[in-house]
Amino acid sequence: MENIIASLDKIVLDPKYHDLLCIVKGVRNGVVYGSKIRFSHALVMTFLFRNGTIKSKLKLVLNATKEHARNLGTFVFIYKATLYILKKTHEKEQPTDTLIAGLLGGYFVFGRGGKSSVNQQIVLYVFSRVVLGLSKLAVEKRVIPSISDEIGNTVYPIFASVCWGLVMYLFRTDPQVLQVSMKNSMDYIYLDSNYWTNLRTLLWHNK
């Protein structure tokens, strides 16, 4: 047994297999990370804001966890496999390779994969980070002037105000356009708090 393990260790440490094994390890890490991050989030959100039996709630949690893990794992596979193919095609990595690989993975996994609540949350999360990252990059590259702390302290409250003003307006007028988990959270906070039948449903139980 020890000889088999030693032989396998020798194979996985062989530089000629490194690029291919990066794909395997990437898929593994995508699945594990997706499982960890989604399970805890889905568990809390489902048991706080969804109605139904414990069995039905657990099924929702497990399905969401499975989807998140599968999608991240699949994205990593497409991304790293595309990088591998492109590198073999022109013998060394090009600056645009990561963009091409990301576009392909994003299209097939999160675009063609369906507009589920899990996919929407992931894409919206990535989108907000991309916008923030691009704004920071624009300042670093001097495309836009740097904002002083004094101006930033003035702009941020306006930004926060506009975000919350718009989301509350949409929630009031067209709540169906909001992401499902956000709408459920806002229903709980802003609508359910308008109704109760006794002291118990006022202070202890929502309904």
Q: 127 in helix, strand or coil?
A: helix
Instruction: Count Cα atoms within 13 angstroms, Cβ side, for 1.
Output: 0
Report pLDDT for 23.
93
If phi > 0 it is left, if psi is from -120 to 50 it is alpha, else beta; for residue 91 that is left
CA quadruple 83, 85, 87, 90: dihedral sign? negative
Model confidence at 104: pLDDT above 90: yes
pTM of the entire predicted model: 0.77
Model confidence at 151: pLDDT above 60: no
Long-range contacts of range 84-88, CB-CB < 8 Å, 24 or more positions apart? 84/19, 84/20, 84/22, 84/23, 87/19
- Of residues 157 and 41, the one with the higher pLDDT is 41
Q: 145 in helix, strand or coil?
A: coil
- Of residues 200 and 165, the one with the higher pLDDT is 165
Report pLDDT for 33.
92
- Looking at residue 94, its amino acid is Q
Report pLDDT for 153.
67
* pLDDT tens digit sequence for 19-59: 899 999 999 999 999 999 899 989 988 888 888 899 999 99
Which CA distances in Å does 136 have to 23, 127, 143, 147, 183?
Answer: 30, 14, 10, 10, 30
Confidence of residue 96 (pLDDT cuts 50, 70, 90): very high
